[in-house]
């Protein structure tokens, strides 16, 4: 429905991007985000609106992506991105701009959805794609537990 890569393709491309970043000694950022109030959109506006919302999110993502970025709809209302060559400072600007674009799209349709976003940045690419994604996912769930609708970013380089 969203025409974004599926989980399998995302992991294949993600492993390639991570390996390239490791060879180059470059930075990488993983972003996980989930729609807040997605159920409310489905319940209030109908499942057709929920489907339209997911397509809208994917369209905003595609317009925002660089050629090197790797997006995915993980399932339901959860999405992720791999941003090769992007350090913590650049990711902060990139993700804040993405959030603004997503919120503008929600406002155009009068959907009450917001976004819980976790951002895990590394100055040098780590060796484990699953851990990289788990870190951004964990940060996203911290945002959800903290009241939703926000961005939590952590620079894992300092560890």
- Whether 1 is covered by a domain: the verdict is no
Residue 38 lies in a domain: yes
Residue span of the structural domain in which 14 resides: 7-158
Per-residue pLDDT of the chain (159 residues; tens, 9 = 90+): 899 998 999 999 999 999 999 999 999 999 999 999 999 999 999 999 999 999 999 999 999 999 999 999 998 899 999 999 999 999 999 999 999 999 999 999 999 999 999 999 999 999 899 999 999 999 999 999 999 999 999 999 755
CATH code of the domain in which 151 resides: 3.30.70.270
Q: How many CB atoms lie within 10 A of CB 25?
A: 9
Q: What are residue 135's phi and psi, to 5 degrees? A: -65, -45
The domain tally of the chain equals 1
Residue 2 included in any domain: no
Residue 56 included in any domain: yes
Q: Which residue out of 69, 77, 87, 137 is catalytically annotated?
A: 77
In a domain, residue 78? The reply is: yes
Instruction: Decide if 34 is inside a domain.
Output: yes
**Is 155 an annotated catalytic residue?**
no
């Amino acid at each position: 429905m969203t025409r974004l890569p599926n989980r399998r393709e995302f992991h294949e491309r993600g492993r390639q991007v991570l390996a390239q970043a490791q060879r180059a000694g470059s930075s990488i950022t993983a972003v996980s985000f989930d729609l807040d109030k997605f159920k409310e959109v489905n319940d209030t506006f109908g499942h057709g609106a929920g489907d339209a919302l997911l397509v809208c999110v994917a369209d905003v993502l595609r317009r925002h992506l660089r050629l090197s970025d790797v997006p995915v709809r993980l399932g339901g209302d959860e999405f992720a991105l791999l941003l090769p060559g992007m350090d913590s400072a650049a990711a902060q600007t990139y993700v804040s701009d993405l959030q603004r674009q997503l919120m503008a799209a929600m406002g155009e349709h009068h959907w009450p959805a917001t976004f819980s976003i976790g951002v895990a940045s590394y100055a040098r690419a780590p060796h484990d794609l699953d851990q990289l994604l788990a870190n951004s996912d964990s940060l996203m769930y911290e945002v959800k537990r903290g009241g939703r609708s926000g961005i939590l970013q952590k620079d894992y380089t300092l560890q």
